[in-house]
Amino acid sequence: MLVSKTPCLPECAHIAIIGGGAAGICAALGARAQLRRHGIPDAHTSICIFERNPELGIKIRISGGGKCNITHAGEMMSVLSEGFFRQNEQRFLKPAFYGLTNNDVLQWLRERGVETYTRPNGRVFPTSGKALDVLSAFKRLLSEHEIQVFPNVHISSVSRPDDAFAVAMGDAVVKAAQVIIATGGVSYSKVGTTGDGLRFAKAFGHTVVTPYAALAPIYFTKPPEAELVGVSLRQVGLLARASRVIASRMDDVLITHLGVSGPACLSLSREIALVCTSSAVDLCVNFFPKFSADDLHAKLLQLQQDHPTQFVRTFLEQQFPDAVVPFIFRAANVPVEQKWNNFTKDKRRTLVETLKCFFLGRVKDVPIERGEVSAGGVALSEVNPKTMESRLVANLYFAGEVLDVAGEVGGFNLQAAYSTGWVAGQTAAGKLCV
Ligand SMILES: Cc1cc2nc3c(=O)[nH]c(=O)nc-3n(C[C@H](O)[C@H](O)[C@H](O)COP(=O)(O)OP(=O)(O)OC[C@H]3O[C@@H](n4cnc5c(N)ncnc54)[C@H](O)[C@@H]3O)c2cc1C
């Protein structure tokens, strides 16, 4: 593998891959695998990755809090439906997910010394707990596959003045027969993902769905009360309400000094980001998502009969962090010293209403910069899902987060990057074999 700190750029490349994240790396591997399958010697074809950072795979390195949630376990159809809630995303990703599966990736890693384990929720991590081990294994793979890596190369434009593409980095230009754009999304822009690929796509006439936040924390217009900051609510419902409930999730919620975070919030953030700029959105907690209001009412009545001399709050303190209980009582307008024995039907009703929809805050912002991924990107309708080739420009491909896909937390986004990258690489190389 050629790794150059001050790159000596080639004049031309058979396949130029822009961006050295999970998608770009797997595109290169897919391309070389295809060429080898056709018996084409490695020395006859150049596969180049151009990466603006000094190192490849920065997002792999920071993923999963430095532990890297590599992928999600299970059959690919269930991985798709658990990880991608939109039908068009599922449909688009399906061929790629079967082109390179979670088990394929795990086998590569295992063969290079990275053991993994699967958490009960299906998330797969390296046993060492180190994302760096995953990245090192990918770098070894690139080396084994004779991929030329050019770090510190910031591609400024891609055009096609004639039969070949011109991949420009300032004044220098590399000619390429096939170009794969794998520049990622726009969140965490400080690590290099500033949306260049979207600009390149637009220049070729592609429709780009304006990026918006996903898997992001949510900020409130009025920060949560100090006593609530750091409180974690387990397995509650998180409801986003405009004039009606627009979306909800059931999972853990973490209250932060600016609003909320945690799994339920991250999952919900994409839907909120879509509407919160045009309408006011309130976030509410349903403390008993598995109970209907009537069932909860009946449960409180039963408690009242069984424990007449007990404080009402005792029941809530048994299930939720103590800090949140006074706020529930305040919202329900029930004294915190209330006992069951003189708990009126009206109070029971307002407590049920509050427990089913406790106002947390009004959404101010879903910061795209803080999202684990960004939604939006190159419109899926203009990319062939079986090949990742542009439907507008032959020999141009898109892979990974630059596409208009965004998965849930759980290893789904990396898997989407590996799979779409692999397919793009395979197709691009396949064209060189005919
Ligand atoms: C903090 C954080 C934690 C995450 N944790 C997980 C996780 O545990 N599991 C999971 O599945 N997903 C996780 N994700 C999401 C996942 O990392 C991304 O979806 C995935 O890495 C996208 O891969 P990609 O190759 O498409 O893009 P990226 O990994 O973003 O790679 C794109 C590359 O292109 C380069 N580039 C951009 N423009 C240019 C240019 N003009 N010239 C040259 N190079 C350029 C960038 O520097 C970058 O290295 C996390 C994301 C973040 C931010």
Whole-number Å distance, alpha carbon 215 to ligand 1 midpoint, is 14
Together in a domain, 238 and 303 = no
Together in a domain, 194 and 313 = no
Query: Which residues does a 6 A CB cutoff place in the pocket of ligand 1?
Result: 18-24, 50-53, 58-59, 62-64, 68-69, 154-155, 182-184, 187-188, 192-193, 196, 372-373, 400-401, 411-414, 417
Q: What is the pLDDT along the chain (434 residues), one digit of tens a residue?
A: 444 454 688 999 999 999 999 999 999 999 999 999 999 999 999 999 999 999 999 999 999 999 999 999 999 999 999 999 999 999 999 999 999 999 999 999 999 999 999 999 999 999 999 999 999 999 999 999 999 999 999 999 999 999 999 999 988 999 999 999 999 999 999 999 999 999 999 999 999 999 999 999 999 999 999 999 999 999 999 999 998 999 999 999 999 999 999 999 999 999 999 999 889 999 999 999 999 999 999 999 999 999 999 999 999 999 999 999 999 999 999 999 999 988 999 999 999 999 999 999 999 999 999 999 999 999 999 999 999 999 999 999 999 999 999 999 999 999 999 999 999 999 999 999 98
Flag whether 325 is in a domain.
yes
Domain boundary among 309, 328, 360: 360
Flag whether 385 is in a domain.
yes
Indicate the pTM of the whole model. Answer: 0.95
Ligand 1: atom nearest CA of 415 is 11
Nearest CA to ligand 1 atom 26: 400
Nearest CA to ligand 1 atom 5: 63
Ligand 1: atom nearest CA of 184 is 27
CATH classification at residue 322? 1.10.8
Together in a domain, 121 and 148 = yes
Flag whether 268 is in a domain.
yes
- Ligand 1 pocket mutation pick from 9, 25, 188, 414 by most atoms within 8 angstroms of CB: 414
Together in a domain, 227 and 319 = no
Given CA atoms 423, 267, 276, 356 in this order, what sign does their dihedral have? Answer: positive
Together in a domain, 103 and 165 = yes
Flag whether 235 is in a domain.
yes
Whole-number Å distance, alpha carbon 236 to ligand 1 midpoint, is 30
Flag whether 1 is in a domain.
no
Nearest CA to ligand 1 atom 52: 372
Together in a domain, 99 and 160 = yes
Q: Residue 8: what pLDDT?
A: 85
Flag whether 4 is in a domain.
no
Together in a domain, 239 and 280 = yes
Ligand 1: atom nearest CA of 68 is 8
Together in a domain, 323 and 408 = no
How many structural domains is the chain composed of? Answer: 3
Together in a domain, 281 and 310 = no
Residue range(s) defining the domain that contains residue 145: 12-212+373-433
